[in-house]
Structure 1
Amino acid sequence: MAKKKEVTVEERLRALYDLQLIDSRIDEIRNVRGELPLEVRDLEDEVAGLNIRLEKLVANLEVIDNDIAGKKNLIEESKALIKKYAEQQKNVRNNREYNSLTKEIEFQELEIQLAEKHIKEFKAQIEQKKQVIADTKERLKERESHLKHKKGELDAILAETEKEEEALIQKSNDYKEQIEDRLVAAYTRIRNNVKNGLAVVPIERGASGGSFFTIPPQVQVEIASRKKVITDEHSGRILVDPVLAEEQKAKMEKLFSKI
């Protein structure tokens, strides 16, 4: 890995503040998108779940239809047996054979009654599942419409910002390459620990930007001298003087306008 060239403290501070401005711009772009990517992902998951549910419901209907067909076949078989046993009763030789055939007929009649009861229950299940399918289809239609709308919003924002974001991420990485590793690590740690992502802030009206704790005059002079990297004792943020901040803001605004 190529050794980073020796730079002055002022150059380090300028590079760090430039990096902060770039990363803050990336944060702004991502804030514009807000929760949209998560909303789209959740809606996609919900739509997929509803489609799977519909498939299962339709498959269940097919199973019930097959069960009904099976019961109808059983009824026809029982009717055929009843007819057969009734014919046999005409040719019996004794009461024992007659009574035996009568029991068989009664058994088949009970089988028919039970099968008809099951068919009735199956048909009730079909009606219930058809209602659930109708409700699920309605829900799916509404969710798909909502997803289409949210995707449209996200695609429009991405079309406007994706290219800029990619370019800025590359710039951010380029600037990190120019700054010594320990400072990049400190910068990243501070950014991750503060709510607004501001790791490098200028002094504003005698206070640290972002935390608003007053900076003693002597410390302000040291910061303005740009001889060493100074952090805010309250927030841990790296501090730069207002003049340097304005100069780098003007420089970065030109850069942003070209991206």
Structure 2
Amino acid sequence: MMAELTVAEKLKNMFELQLIDSQIDEIQILKGELPIEVSDLEDDIAGLETRIKRLENQVSDLEDEVSKHMANINEANALIERYEKQMDNVKNNREYDALSKEIEMQRLEIQLSNKKIKTTREEVMKKDETLKATQDRLAAKQADLKTKKVELEQIIEKTDKDEKKLSALSNEAREKVEERLIRAYDKIRTSYRNGLAVVTVERDACGGCFNQIPPQMQLEIAQRKKIIACEHCGRILVDDLLVDEVKDKVEGVTIAD
């Protein structure tokens, strides 16, 4: 069974973990919003590609409608021609009137088909305009994605080795901190954008929220007899000497080599 760590050792272990995690945070800052931007662009592109496919199908369906109406016109013209020839051989007015009505019906069918062709072609033009605009947007998004992917890949190439090494060191450092303190550390880290859970006293103030630390509390922090948190932000406070001791150790084993 491992011997109980002193408060000073616990503080050193927590600050060591903080230093390592802060280096990982710096790599994430270097990447910036690129991973999110790349993911968002990929989603946008997938959506635009789906829309383009849908528009292309709609245009194709509309063009099929135009072809169908054109076929109806050709069929109607053929019937008119046939009925007009039959009118040369009618035997009475009843047959003549019947053929005249058929011819009139086919002419109305042609008018209706022409009207539908005009309307459908107008729809095709609108769809084509929307399709062209969507294709332009897609091309712009694809170009943007290509640029951002190159940027991200270059950063990853430069930092991947360091990030993996730091992650391993972070895991090792976490093993040296008791579970209760790890839970507190993680909770504090996730509460602040800068990820600082363990900070030093700088110019008589908390290194996290910059509120003043009373002299008596500073003395207790330096004594390392108990774990002390900032009364304002809840961050764990350590003294300058401890910081120097841990920094010397961490800088010797992290990415500097």
Fold conserved (TM > 0.5)? yes
Q: Does residue 239 in structure 1 map to residue 224 in structure 2?
A: no
Provide, for residues 140-198 of structure 1, a one-character-per-residue CA deviation record: whole Å limited to 9, x for no partner.
22221111111111111111112222222222222112111111111111112233221
Query: 1:258 offset after TM fit, Å?
Result: 4.3
Q: Is the 8 A contact 1:4 1:179 kept in 2?
A: no
Q: Tell me what 1:135 maps to.
A: 133
**CA separation in 1, counterparts of 2:3 and 2:243?**
23
Aligned amino acid, residue 241 of structure 1 = D
SS in 2 for 1:202: strand
Query: In the superposition, relative to structure 1, how do residues 227 and 103 fare at CA in structure 2: closer, same or farther (>3 Å)?
Result: same
| 1:1-259 pair list within 5 angstroms | 5-258=3-256
Q: Is the 8 A contact 1:61 1:126 kept in 2?
A: yes
Aligned amino acid, residue 43 of structure 1 = L
Provide structure 1 residue ranges, at least 5 long, that are not aligned to the other structure: none
**CA separation in 2, counterparts of 1:65 and 1:244?**
78
**CA separation in 2, counterparts of 1:25 and 1:166?**
12
Given the two structures, how large is their TM-score scaled by the length of structure 1?
Answer: 0.92
State the percentage of identical aligned residues. Answer: 47
Query: 1:92 offset after TM fit, Å?
Result: 2.6
Query: 1:81 offset after TM fit, Å?
Result: 1.5
**CA separation in 2, counterparts of 1:240 and 1:139?**
53
Aligned amino acid, residue 68 of structure 1 = V
Provide structure 2 residue ranges, at least 5 long, that are not aligned to the other structure: none
Comparing 242-251 with 131-140, greater Cα deviation is found at 131-140
Comparing 173-182 with 217-226, greater Cα deviation is found at 217-226
Runs of 4+, deviation exceeding 3 Å: none
SS in 2 for 1:201: strand
Given the two structures, how large is their TM-score scaled by the length of structure 2?
Answer: 0.92
**CA separation in 2, counterparts of 1:20 and 1:138?**
47
Q: Is the 8 A contact 2:165 2:255 kept in 1?
A: no
Q: Is the 8 A contact 2:16 2:246 kept in 1?
A: yes
**CA separation in 2, counterparts of 1:215 and 1:40?**
43
Q: Is the 8 A contact 1:4 1:178 kept in 2?
A: no
Provide the aligned C-alpha RMSD in A.
1.8
Equivalent pairs, count: 257
Comparing 12-21 with 79-88, greater Cα deviation is found at 79-88
**CA separation in 1, counterparts of 2:159 and 2:2?**
32
